[in-house]
Amino acid sequence: MSGTSLDGLDIALCHFFKLGGPGWKYEIVAAECFEYSPEWKQKLNEAHLQDGLNLMALHTQYGFYIAERINMFVKSNQLIPDLISTHGHTVFHQPEKKISFQLGNGGAIYSTTGIPVVCGFRSVDICLGGQGAPLVPVGDAILFKEYDYCLNLGGIANISYDKDGKRIAYDICGCNLLLNSIANEIGLDYDDGGRLAGLGNADQSLLKTLNTWGYYKSSPPKSLDKETMLSELLPVLKSYNLSSEDKLATITEHISEQVSKSIEMKTGSVLITGGGAFNDALVNKIRKKTSLDVIIPSSGLIKFKEALVFAFLGLLRANNEINTLASVTGASRDSMGGALYGKF
């Protein structure tokens, strides 16, 4: 799994146990994040600017990169997986144009590792008229059904929950992508623990502008792409003559307000994962704005839940089972997404 925050390549070896009926249990046997070099960060960050030929070359190059890290991971842990399930790294996500492209050639991964590979999870759903996102809610519904809400605070914040017997999920707002963009301006990769945000004060004018962004007027199913969000919101952030601390405080307030609007229940629990779960300033703001029990799990699950769920989606695909829900994406029907390289 590689997220929009460009933290690194998350690799998790997961063991799934089939229970009676539709139930599953899981175990994360081993997990590691391979931090990107400055060169790879630049390549991934600028991938959307490449022409078609160079983008396809990068697609294969990144597939070999993934495969080499998997081989290193497997060797160091003395483990042999049955299946590789890879999301890759999103370059374009424009479902209205029937486009969603993730770097990481599955053929390159399979040829290098010799292990069957599932990749390209979004294509089928998008061709069925869906958003192709979010995909994690299938895993939420099956593996984390004890929680009323599953909230992921990644580069983009998204939420998943059951309503009227159906799974509902959507991207809420920008999250670490916005916060990190301000931290980057002062030479930091991110605002560790939300410390700088805690030193600032939310600017009400900027907050109002952020809260009235057009995306919030549309109803689910809906999803955000990095390019659109940053192109529309970064100029707004730069137009305000505020300190970095005040901008971070304002964005934190904005995220917490949008998250609280997405939580309809007055009682229950919300599981928070993703890098934002380590942001104390943001989590505390969310706690104050909801009456639900806010659950912060182990650091391993915070970091690797998305990798775990994509492993599960790959397993469902390899078993020829539904792994994409129309109630979440808005597609014409549920589907089984992912291309399989090799024999499972």
* Segments making up each domain of the chain, as ranges: 8-131+304-341, 137-300
For residue 324, the number of C-alpha atoms closer than 13 Å in the C-beta half-sphere is: 29
Q: What are phi and psi of 299, to 5 degrees?
A: -60, -35
The three-class DSSP label of residue 151 is strand
Query: Are the folds of 8-131+304-341 and 137-300 the same?
Result: yes
Residues 303 and 326 sit within 8 Å (Cβ to Cβ): no
Which SS3 state, helix, strand or coil, does residue 135 take?
coil
Q: How far are the Cα atoms of 13, 167, 322 from residue 124, in angstroms, in the given order?
A: 26, 19, 12
Q: What is the dihedral of CA 250, 160, 164, 260, to 10 degrees?
A: -20
Assigned CATH class of 137-300: alpha beta
φ, ψ (nearest 5 deg) of residue 61: -60, -45
Q: What does each of the 344 residues of the chain score in pLDDT, given as a tens digit?
A: 997 778 899 999 999 998 777 689 999 999 999 999 999 999 999 999 999 999 999 999 999 999 999 999 999 999 889 999 999 999 998 999 999 999 999 999 999 999 999 999 999 999 999 999 889 999 999 999 999 999 999 999 999 999 999 999 999 999 999 999 999 999 998 999 999 999 999 999 999 999 999 999 999 889 888 888 999 999 999 999 999 999 999 999 999 999 999 998 989 999 999 999 999 999 999 999 999 999 999 999 999 999 999 999 999 999 999 999 999 999 999 999 999 999 99
Residues forming beta bridges with residue 31, ordered by sequence position: 12
Contacts with 80 (C-beta within 8 Å, 6 or more apart), sequence order: 74, 115
Taken in order 182, 188, 192, 198, is the CA torsion positive or negative? negative
pLDDT at 19: 79
Cα separation, 109 vs 300, in Å, equals 25
Q: 8-131+304-341 is classed in which CATH architecture?
A: 2-Layer Sandwich (3.30)
- DSSP letter at 281 equals H
**pTM for the whole thing?**
0.89
Residue carrying structure tokens 């370059």? 91
